[in-house]
Amino acid sequence: MEPLVIVGASLAGLRAAEAARRGGWDSELVVVGEEGHMPYTRPPLSKELLTKEAASLTDHLLPAQVEATWMLGERATGIDRHGRRLELAGGERLAYERLVIATGCRARQWSGPGAELSGLHVIRHAEDALELRAALTRGPRLAIVGAGFIGCEVASSARALDLEVSLFDIASTPMPALGPLLGERCASLHRSNGVSLHLGLGIAALYGEHGRVRGVELADGTRHEADLVVVALGAVPCTDWLADSGLDVERGVRCDATLTVDGDPDLLAAGDIAEWPHPLAGGERIRIEHWTNAAEQGSFAGRNAVVAAAERQPYTGIPSFWSDQYGIRIQALGLPHLGHQHHVVEESPDGVRLVAVAERDGKLVGVVAFEGARRLPFYRTQIGGPLDLGSLRTQLAEDPKAFGTSAVAA
Amino acid sequence: MIKVIVDLNLCQSHGNCVLAAPDVFELGDDDILRWQEEVAEAKRAELEEAVNVCPMTAIRLEE
């Protein structure tokens, strides 16, 4: 029996290794990781690692007691599927029985005018966060390009450090994953915390002098000075190394419902990189770049990797994610961005806590809560089912655990 | 029986464990986690999932 090989030594890879062992894999297990670190958890990279002076990567390593051979600092360059070998940058060829692909994503860089300037930062790896933290202590004016998860969390962290923060996005609201109604709430959150928001206009260029960035130029020609720019334009699946594999990697690694890679039952994929059909998206293939998805899919792929293809279970987990901004925890279940309409159904009298539902074709496709973790189980079982807003509101009005419905417009 | 151990110093009340194993974990009205300390073997898969999805790796299982 050749080893089970897992490519990618982050959360999904670690969970895959653990699940494979739990599933009875007692032969050799190898985890190959490009970063030189044992698996660590990434959410603190845009938060604690930026704001806490004493924070270090060591605080955020994931417990990894699984029995495995860790090949760290090793980059995979290809798969010889016929010979069942994983090819590494150093020329080594690693035989595999089954292979789990969990190489995740990399940060999308700014590719427009000014890409060559110094003073541009992205956040993906621990080193990125530590470099940015060092740069932030020099007290600069910070411009953030992109108001998704990373952009919004960096804005929150930078305000905690009392920096001058401008946040830019071509979209008209931040946090597109939440849908426009809650995006508007996020915008208020940023404004009330002193962030200068510039929405609805594209970035024409990052401009600079003497090779160093000096600010952001918008599509309407206005210029906004900055000493430092964080580029938070989303992430790109790390599929380059699979270009010659013959697999469909156009939008990620294309899988079936069991996370088995299309066209090769010896390969599975998990986490940010996996594109798989989801019932909530009407069976369309989606990719999800959130922590919980990597954790769940990792263990699913690990379990499925050690059984025959016919015995593999479909992964049908309901997506969930969270983001912490200005002391407010934003959480979501399902796919709220797919909603055609969003409705606030609970709101505390002070307006801090709220729950909103996302509706698409009469179905409940997602739920978003602000400071509302304890309310999510109530909605969890309803996701994917029909949404009867009237009866939901009646039910909530009588529920003493609901945050309040009187302030919520019917 | 499986023993469920949660380090409340680490727990940040994300509630991922509640979604994974709703019969075992619960967030109270104070947002603090409550849980059953001894759980039947039949719930093993749910408990393992709860351990897997805890962002703070605050949950441990013992036999």
- Could you say which of A43, A62, A296 has the minimum Cβ distance to residue B57? A62
Please count the CA atoms within 13 angstroms of the CA of A385 that sit on its side-chain side. 8
Tell me: the pLDDT tens digits for A327-341? Answer: 999 999 999 999 999
pLDDT at A345 over 60: yes
The average pLDDT across A295-315 equals 97
Cβ neighbours of A27 (radius 10 Å): 11
Task: Please state the pTM of the whole predicted model.
Answer: 0.96
Interchain proximity A296–B52, CB inside 8 Å: yes
Averaged pLDDT score across all residues of chain A: 96
pLDDT at A206 over 70: yes
CATH architecture of B2-62: 2-Layer Sandwich (3.30)
Q: Which residue of B has its CA nearest to A329?
A: B14
Domains defined for chain A, CATH in brackets = 4-34+42-106+236-311 (3.50.50.60), 109-233 (3.50.50.60), 327-397 (3.30.390.30)
- H or E segment at A376? helix A376-380
pLDDT at A410 over 60: no
CA A390, CA A350: separation in Å to the nearest integer? 24
What tokens were used for B44? 């093993």
| Chain-centre distance for alpha carbon A304 | 23
Interchain proximity A376–B55, CB inside 8 Å: no
- Taking every pair of Cα atoms in chain A, the longest distance, rounded to a whole number of angstroms, is 66
pLDDT at A288 over 70: yes
Chain A environment of B29 (Cβ under 8 Å): 374, 401
Model pLDDT, residue A138: 83
Phi, psi of A296 (to 5 degrees): -70, -45
The average pLDDT across A185-193 equals 97
- H or E segment at B17? helix B16-20
Angle at A33 between CA A29 and CA A37, to 5 degrees: 110
The proportion of chain A whose per-residue pLDDT surpasses 70, expressed as a percent, equals: 99
Model pLDDT, residue A140: 84
Spatial CA neighbour of A15 closest among A397, A292, A328 = A292
Please count the CA atoms within 13 angstroms of the CA of A75 that sit on its side-chain side. 8
CA A131, CA A164: separation in Å to the nearest integer? 19
Tell me: the pLDDT tens digits for A83-137? Answer: 999 999 999 999 999 999 999 999 999 999 999 999 999 999 999 999 999 999 8
Q: Which residue of A has its CA nearest to B60?
A: A63
Interface list for A 307-326 with B (CB within 8 A):
318, 320, 322
CA A269, CA A100: separation in Å to the nearest integer? 5
Model pLDDT, residue A165: 98
DSSP letters for A270-293: -GGGEEEE-GGGTT-EE----HHH
| Helix, strand, coil percentages, rounded to 5, for chain B | 25, 25, 45
Interchain proximity B57–A374, CB inside 8 Å: no
Higher confidence at residue A406 or residue A291? A291
The average pLDDT across B16-20 equals 98
Provide the pLDDT confidence category of residue A54 given band limits of 50, 70 and 90.
confident
Model pLDDT, residue A55: 83
Check CB contact of B14 with chain A, cutoff 8 Å: yes
Model pLDDT, residue B63: 86
CA A306, CA A300: separation in Å to the nearest integer? 10
Chain B environment of A380 (Cβ under 8 Å): 19, 22
Tell me: the pLDDT tens digits for A391-409? Answer: 999 999 999 999 987 666 5
The average pLDDT across A8-13 equals 98
Model pLDDT, residue A409: 55
Interchain proximity B14–A329, CB inside 8 Å: yes
Give Cα separations from A28 to A7, A306, B4 (angstroms). Answer: 14, 12, 30
Model pLDDT, residue A408: 67
CA A64, CA A40: separation in Å to the nearest integer? 10
Phi, psi of A67 (to 5 degrees): -80, 110
Q: Which residue of A has its CA nearest to B26?
A: A374
The average pLDDT across A239-257 equals 97
